Amino acid sequence: SYPALLGIFILYSALTGVSLSFILLTYTSASIVACFAAAAGIFGIMAFLGYTTQVDLTKFGPILMVGVVGLVIASVVNMFIGSSQLNYIMSFFGVAIFTALTAYDVQKIKRIGEGIESNGDQVLQVEAKKTAIVAALSLYLDFLNIFLFLLRIFGSRK
């Protein structure tokens, strides 16, 4: 149901905020602001490109998902081997993958929205609210990952 989904999204956002606060304690304020500004710029540009491009980005979805799975696997492996070089390399791949995912997700959301708009059915309006929450979560994760990977690359620790 929509209220349950909204509650889960709010809870997830709050928990992310709490966990992020502990991560940010290890970085200087200047590097946090710089990485946030860079992430916002990257996210904004890619969202604009995803919204306005005439190129069908759906073909990149499976490739990007394989990239995300690869990052997760590499992260798990790196938890055991503790390689700072692998962490650094993964951060660049992470920025690239989530930058591309931003454009992909925005285009996907736009197409879903256009489909809902053209139908105008009452049942679709309820589904549209659920879709909006899932879409918000998707974009939220894209931005958050770009920001965190940029911090891993450029962030100055206290």
Could you give the number of structural domains in the chain? 1
At 15 the pLDDT is 94
**Which letter, b or e, does each residue of 135-148 get, where b requires 16 or more Cβ atoms within 10 Å of its Cβ?**
beebbebbbebbbb
Helix-helix angle 2-24:122-154, to 10 degrees: 10
Which residue's entry shows tokens 């998707």?
A: 138
- Phi, psi angles (nearest 5°) of residue 6: -65, -40
pTM of the model: 0.90
pLDDT > 90: percent of the chain: 77
What are the CA-CA distances from residue 79 to residues 27, 35, 82, 85, 115 (Å)? 21, 24, 6, 13, 43
Domain hosting residue 55, numbered range: 2-154
pLDDT tens per residue, range 62-117: 999 999 999 999 999 999 999 999 999 999 999 999 999 999 999 999 988 777 66
The tokens describing 77, both together, are 């492996």
In 3D space, the residue among 51, 153, 135, 47 whose CA is nearest the CA of residue 99 turns out to be 47
